Amino acid sequence: MSRLLLRGDLLPGFGAISKRVEPPIIKLIAVESKGAYKLRLRFSDGAWGVYDFSRDVEASTPMTEPLRDTEFFGRHFIELGALAWPNGFDLSAEALHRQLKAAGELRRDSKVA
C-alpha cells in the first residue's frame, strides 16, 4: 500500500523532503527622473533606489549611444516589469535591484503603524 509523502518525511536514500521556495519575481513598478542620468526606481518588493546610468551611457555601445541624448534618455518606460527605451534597450528589474543592493543604495520605506 502506498502513502502520500509529506514534507519532513524521510525518503530512502535521499533524506528529508523539503519544499523548494522560489524567491518572488521582482518587477519595476515606477520610474522617476532625478537629474541628468539618474532615475529613482521602485520595485514590486517595496524597495527603491536611485540608479545613476552615467557609466552605462559612457560605455557608448550601439544600444546605449542614443541614451547620451538626455531627451531620448527621458523617454524611458516600463515594459513587462523591466526598464526600457524606444530603441529596444532594456534592463531587467532583477539586475537593477541586485546592483543597487550591492552598492548599498537599495532602500525600503519605513512602515507607519
DSSP 20-84: --PPPPP-EEEEEE-STTEEEEEETTSEEEEEE-HHHHHT--TTTGGGGSHHHHTT-EEETTEEE
Given a cut of 50, whether residue 87 has pLDDT beyond it is yes
Whose grid coordinates read 552615467?
54
What was the pLDDT predicted at 9? 54
Q: What is the pLDDT of residues 30-43, one digit of tens each?
A: 999 998 899 999 99
What cell numbers appear for 38 in the block? Answer: 539618474
Mean pLDDT, the chain, rounded, equals 87
With a pLDDT cut of 70, the percent of the chain lying above it is 80
What was the pLDDT predicted at 1? 52
Give the pLDDT band of residue 24 (cuts 50, 70, 90): confident
Enter the DSSP assignment of 111: P
Enter the DSSP assignment of 27: -
Enter the DSSP assignment of 43: E
Q: How do beta strands 10-11 and 15-16 pair?
A: antiparallel
Q: What is the pTM of this model?
A: 0.76
Which one is predicted more confidently, 15 or 91?
91
What is the arithmetic mean of pLDDT over 42-70?
94
